[in-house]
Amino acid sequence: MTEVKSEIKFLSGPQSRWEEFTFIIRVVLDFIKGFRALHFVGPCVTFFGSPRFAESHAYYSESRHIARRVAQLGFTVMTGGGLGLMEAANRGAKEVGGRSVGCNVALPMEQAPNRYLDKWVSIRYFFVRKTLLIKYSYAFIVLPGGFGTMDEFFEAVTLTQTKKKLRFPIVIFDRDFHKDLMDYIEWMKEKKTISEEDLSLILVTDSIDEAVEFINEKSIIRYGLAAPKKRTPAPWLLEHQ
């Protein structure tokens, strides 16, 4: 895949000035593509989770049910657009008439958007996609996952910690799966590399009711999202909802 090869080359050290310049142009075009596709989808809650859990797995069912409740709060459910727990979240939103969107990424092994998306955009670069998943969201739900899920979680929590983003809530769902991770985070707090305040917007829970109430309190009530600002497409920019 051409996009993947160009990223591998870029991350392999200095290239010619022309190659560095053209890579920047491709990144800018990727951002513009994402901005145009997602400008009118919000406010969103982004679900991070693994594509490796099948429909028969309990995690799939949990993800589907929590997404239903989030959609009923009035949020658009946003995911990486793939299979597994991303599909489950998008499916849950659709089942209750909520809006469901995905921000897919080009990978060496083809990753097709799942069938429960009202709208989706395919992005070349992981760092662009990660920015888009965070940019349009007013809360984050971290489901069981691997390296990609952890990367997205730590990006979101670092941006809130450093006040680069408003302090939106982060729900880590499934205590048992994330036990070792949370033990390590507590150890970092003991070593004073993070503070108690840094953890104040993270909820670790097995309760869908608790997760939904946390988002309602820390996002909807705090930031007045019950009546979010409506954006109108500009016909001269060929925009549409």
Spell out where the chain has E strands.
44-48, 76-79, 100-105, 119-123, 137-142, 170-173, 202-205
Compute the radius of gyration of the chain from its Cα atoms. Answer: 18
Interatomic CA distance for residues 159 and 207, integer angstroms:
26
pLDDT tens sequence across 205-239 = 999 999 999 999 999 988 887 545 556 666 656 65
Question: Of the CATH numbers 3.40.1080.10, 3.10.400.10, 3.90.1300.10, 3.40.50.450, which one belongs to the domain with range 2-224?
Answer: 3.40.50.450
Q: Confidence band (pLDDT; 50, 70, 90) for 172? A: very high
Q: What is the pLDDT of residue 9?
A: 75
Per-residue pLDDT for 12 more than 90?
Answer: no
**Domain range annotation of the chain:** 2-224
- Nearest CA to 79 among 107, 120, 127, 27? 120
